[in-house]
Amino acid sequence: MRSALIRQLTEASHTVRSVGTALEALREVAQVGFDLVILDLGLPDLDGAQALKMLRGITDVPVIVATARDDEAEIIRLLTDGADDYLVKPFSVAHLTARMAAVLRRAGRGGPAGEPAPSAALQVGGLSVDPLRRQAELDGAPLDLTRREFDLLAYLAGRPGVVVPRKELLAEVWQQSYGDDQTIDVHLSWLRRKLGETAASPRYLHTVRGVGVKLEPPETPPGPGTGTASPEKP
Please report, for the domain that includes residue 17, its CATH number. Answer: 3.40.50.2300
- Calculate what percentage of the chain has a pLDDT beyond 70: 86
Same domain (yes/no): 61, 142: no
Q: Does residue 189 have a pLDDT over 70?
A: yes
Same domain (yes/no): 38, 89: yes
Q: If pLDDT is split at 50, 70 and 90, which confidence band does 220 have?
A: low
- The number of folded domains in the chain is 2
Same domain (yes/no): 91, 129: no
| pTM assigned to the model | 0.50
- What's the rounded Cα separation, in Å, for the pair 124 and 116? 23
Same domain (yes/no): 97, 13: yes
> Per the domain annotation, does 227 fall within a domain?
no
Mean pLDDT of 197-222: 87
Please give the pLDDT value at position 205.
Answer: 96
Domain that holds residue 92: 2-106
> Per the domain annotation, does 188 fall within a domain?
yes
Please count the CA atoms within 13 angstroms of the CA of 198 that sit on its side-chain side.
2
Please count the CA atoms within 13 angstroms of the CA of 121 that sit on its side-chain side.
13
Same domain (yes/no): 41, 72: yes
> Per the domain annotation, does 76 fall within a domain?
yes
- What's the rounded Cα separation, in Å, for the pair 179 and 79? 10
> Per the domain annotation, does 97 fall within a domain?
yes
> What would the pLDDT profile of 122-164 be if each residue is shown by its tens digit?
899 999 998 877 889 999 999 999 888 998 998 899 888 999 9
Same domain (yes/no): 133, 161: yes
Comparing 170 with 202, the larger pLDDT belongs to 202
From 34-43, 55-64, 79-88, 167-176, the region with the lowest mean pLDDT: 167-176
Report residue 137 CA to chain centroid gap. 17
